[in-house]
Amino acid sequence: MSKLFATTMTLALAISPQAIAAGDPAKGEKLYKRCSSCHAIIKDGQVLVKGGITGPNLYGVVGRVAGTESDYLYGSERLPIGMFTDDMIRAGQEGLVWTQENIATYSKNPIVFIQEYLDDETARPNMSVKIKKGADDIAAYLATFSE
């Protein structure tokens, strides 16, 4: 998939009312435990949803440019940036903004998503876990934590 096609599809999906309703946040909340081993949801230092700190904070992920979470904050501890791969940072620099739809697609196969977005078969994100079922619901749940 070319970058232009991926960007066009992302924008089309972001505007489509049907795309917004793709997942069920209540189901996603129950399924989020799959994500919490690596990710927490933290707003202004307050832990809203406990989780791991090996992945970025998912508060406000919908609408965020990929690879730009400034740091990983857990309680009052700030963890160093640089946990993103160069490819994830490059995807953000090339226009990847997380939408509910592309979070769901990414979650189903992160490596293939980044390779197709960057049109680079060697590209790699840190996440390699594939969420085969419920990715749309998890993405809808994460959207409830975006302003």
Here the CATH number for the domain that contains residue 9 is 1.10.760.10
β strands within the chain, DSSP E: 41-43, 46-49, 72-74, 77-79
Among 144, 147, 106, 143, residue whose Cα is nearest residue 128: 106
Residue 125: Cβ within 10 Å count: 19
Domain total of the chain: 1
pTM of the prediction? 0.78
Mean pLDDT by 10 residues, the chain (147 residues): 51 45 90 91 92 88 90 50 78 96 97 98 93 96 93
> pLDDT value at position 68?
87
> pLDDT value at position 73?
44
> pLDDT value at position 22?
81
Q: What is the residue range of 129's domain?
A: 3-13+22-143
> pLDDT value at position 47?
92
> pLDDT value at position 2?
54
Total residue length of the chain: 147
Looking only at the bridges linking them, the beta strands covering 46-49 and 72-74 are unpaired
Among 16, 24, 8, residue whose Cα is nearest residue 143: 24
